[in-house]
Amino acid sequence: MAKRTNIVVNDLLMRKARKLTGLKTQREIVERALELLVRSEERKGILKFYGSGIWSGDLKASRRNRV
């Protein structure tokens, strides 16, 4: 589902993003930026569990048992 909206975007940032990514449209650039932001924030949520003891076991043994 797409939602139409109007935003004010820094022209310099938009030009840099277009040059770095090769994306053609502002819509593509904004969508890519939102996807990356969401992925980054989701990873931060996962990192909260690091060292929490939520999982216990032998990781090396678990990896050896994979086929």
Closest CA to 32 of 47, 53, 17, 50: 17
Which pLDDT band holds residue 61 (cuts at 50, 70, 90)? Answer: confident
pLDDT tens-digit map of 8-29? 999 999 999 999 999 999 999 9
Verdict on whether the full-model pTM lies above 0.75: no
Domain ranges of the chain: 11-64
**pLDDT attached to residue 62:** 77
pLDDT tens-digit map of 44-58? 887 777 777 776 777
**For residues 32 and 40, what is the distance between their CA atoms, to the nearest angstrom?**
12
